[in-house]
Chain A
């Protein structure tokens, strides 16, 4: 077990080092940091709901940076690994395919965590600064607990998207194809709750909607509603504390989703030929 973990960590360490030294990623962090500082300008456009708008801005920038990381670094790191046969260099060592999948995933997840920690730290500072600059009625509450909860929600969703990217990278070849699939997946996850809501408001009480509703509910198992882990409205303290049971179940659900996607990715990588 120890040697298995050691092998996984050795791959993760390699992926982490490669990412940390990638100039494009350093550029992404700098860009995101600059954008976060832009929050100090953005709140000038908002007359009253300054706390809300500033917190939305900070979290949105971080989310955007995470998406760019996922779609452009993670997708490339995986697909190029195979296109350029880096995977051969790694799998020529005593590393199983499953260990490779988990190792690469862990390395990318660690990189994402570091990105979130850097942006989270600065975001905290920017929000604190904005709060000190405006009247209490415009930005009264800034809850550190909900700040961390929101960030954990963001990170959890990013991990879920990453696990699906791992799966797609095993199923299809080529970074562009994986990118297209990942973007389509993300859009479907965004779109499904909108369709469900629209159907629910149009056909309240209609029997024929029950079947469609069940189909859409089933699809949500494949394409989760990531909006459920969006807690940024709580940071400014204008919402009641979410039900702890529901909170746990949301995290549990996505946790199992990630494990399942990784399990499938391991199975796919384990069965297929590497070209």
Chain B
């Protein structure tokens, strides 16, 4: 064997050895999710290709999240970069709906803070795609479910429920959340509008029942206001209102129950 041939075989063997070692490391290592470049940098670098660039960021996130759970690093190691990824990609391409869907399903549940950041991501999509129903629904859901901001959620659902293409239950949901958030008048008005617009008898009867419930709750709420005007404080319990301010507590069941957390009276779903 000549020297050059021997050297070339050695070099090839060395290369293969390093290749196998490196590959073994990467195949067992946990996945890593890197932070994206800032949106302005990507906009400048990509120009016309920025939309495809944003979709690539989406695919990167989707592929990462779709990996077997054992390969994923602990949530706290990647969640910040993943959020940044969605923020950057929606900065570049707010019209891309899938970004909102994936951000919602992968980030909103982590903490109220991340639910808030998802709301920011969704807001960009909502501005860019005003006809989309899903993105504002997710936003309202995040306010209600992950951040406990019922009034805010009710506002979003009420607005959404007024769209001609919105399913009727969204408006109802808004009313229920208004009640739950302590804004009984807003809930009542929403229900009255829906009752007036609804043509199906089954739903109409249901709305009428709920309107009745809300009106009864409002009577109690007004009694708490009168109590305050008289004594300069709110009652500790609703029973204090009886009999001076109301003859008795109304029946709001079986769909609701009254929850008194001064100064707000809420209509909540029974546990």
Contact = CB atoms under 8 A, between A and B. Distances in A.
Contacts of A53: 55, 96, 98
Contacts of B55: 46, 53, 56-57
Contacts of A191: 43-44
Interface string B43-65: 11111110110010011001100
Interface in B128-184: 129
Nearest to B49: A60
A238 B95 contact: yes
A193 B47 CA distance: 10
A96 interface: no
A186 B95 CA distance: 25
B90 to A, nearest CB: 12
B270 to A, nearest CB: 36
A49 B48 CA distance: 19
Interface residues of B, number: 22
Contacts, number: 66
Contacts of A187: 44-45, 47
A47 interface: yes
Contacts of A63: 48-49
B40 interface: yes
A172 interface: no
B contact patch SS: helix
Interface in A187-225: 187, 189-191, 193-194, 198
B204 interface: no
A114 to B, nearest CB: 20
Given A56-B51, A198-B40, A190 B97 contact: no
B52 A49 contact: no
A45 B62 contact: yes
Contact of A49 (B46, B62, B96): B96
A195 to B, nearest CB: 8
A194 B44 contact: yes
Contacts of A48: 97-98, 101
A contact patch SS: helix
Contact of B48 (A47, A60, A198): A60
B101 A56 contact: no
Contacts of A64: 49
B256 to A, nearest CB: 36
Contacts of A194: 40, 43-44
Contact of A45 (B48, B59, B97): B59
Contacts of B46: 190
A258 interface: no
Contact of A226 (B47, B95, B96): B47
Interface in A140-196: 154, 157, 186-187, 189-191, 193-194
Nearest to A153: B48
A227 B48 contact: yes
A49 B58 CA distance: 11
A267 interface: no
Interface in B56-104: 58-59, 62-63, 95-98, 101-102
26 contacts: A45-B63, A46-B58, A46-B59, A47-B101, A48-B97, A48-B101, A49-B97, A52-B95, A53-B55, A53-B96, A56-B51, A59-B48, A60-B49, A60-B51, A63-B48, A157-B48, A187-B47, A190-B43, A190-B45, A190-B46, A190-B47, A226-B48, A232-B51, A233-B95, A238-B95, A238-B129
Interface of A: 45-49, 52-53, 56-57, 59-60, 63-64, 154, 157, 186-187, 189-191, 193-194, 198, 226-227, 230, 232-233, 238
Closest 9 CB pairs of A and B: A60-B52, A190-B47, A191-B44, A56-B51, A45-B59, A63-B48, A194-B40, A194-B43, A190-B44
